């Protein structure tokens, strides 16, 4: 039996492959989706990948995950640095939540050095390109099914 996992992506991640390939790589968003689903299946996870530029929609998905006790891999994009509403939604988690970043925020502009979500996440994986998602999925596969 596979365990459900949501991989949630915030603003501009749908532009992977064309958005700053020197920072985010050349793989398209469709490639990321396929990689997460395939790797997740190898780990016994039923991975659903979503992306939005809308903060309210992303918060709604976090509520859905909390209500369903569904583990989450979350790349909040720019919301990482200022969305206290998203932080409050993530704090309601009832299963592991791993914050993910493709690049290393600490090696970039100073405003990217602060994550308002990190304190309520189970952990953070950053700086390994799309492998950050694989590392997060592996951690979820090995984590106990509850918070």
Catalytic residue among 101, 106, 113, 133: 101
Residue with tokens 């979500």: 117
- Tell which residue, 48, 114, 61, has the closest CA to residue 92: 61
Angstrom distances, CA of residue 132 to CA of 20, 75, 127, 139: 17, 10, 7, 11
101: enclosing H helix or E strand: strand 97-101
Residue list, annotated binding site for substrate: 75, 81, 88, 102-103, 112
Residue list, annotated binding site: 75, 81, 88, 102-103, 112
**In the annotation, is 24 catalytic?**
yes
CA gap 2, 110 in Å, rounded: 40
- Tell which residue, 123, 132, 26, 6, has the closest CA to residue 71: 6
**In the annotation, is 29 catalytic?**
no
Catalytic residue among 24, 29, 82, 113: 24
Provide the annotated active-site residues.
24, 101
């Amino acid at each position: 039996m596979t365990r459900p996992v949501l991989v949630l992506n915030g603003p501009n991640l749908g532009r992977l492959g064309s958005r700053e390939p020197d920072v985010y790589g050349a793989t398209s968003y469709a490639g990321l989706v396929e990689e997460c689903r395939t790797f997740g299946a190898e780990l016994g996870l039923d991975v659903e990948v979503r992306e939005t530029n809308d903060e309210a929609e992303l918060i709604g998905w976090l509520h859905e995950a909390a209500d369903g006790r569904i583990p989450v891999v979350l790349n909040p994009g720019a919301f990482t640095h200022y969305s206290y509403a998203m932080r409050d939604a993530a704090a309601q988690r009832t299963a592991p939540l791993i914050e993910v970043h493709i690049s290393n925020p600490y090696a970039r502009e100073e405003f990217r050095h602060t994550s308002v979500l990190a304190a309520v996440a189970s952990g953070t994986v950053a700086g390994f390109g799309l492998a950050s998602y694989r590392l997060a999925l592996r951690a979820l596969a090995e984590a106990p099914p509850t918070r």
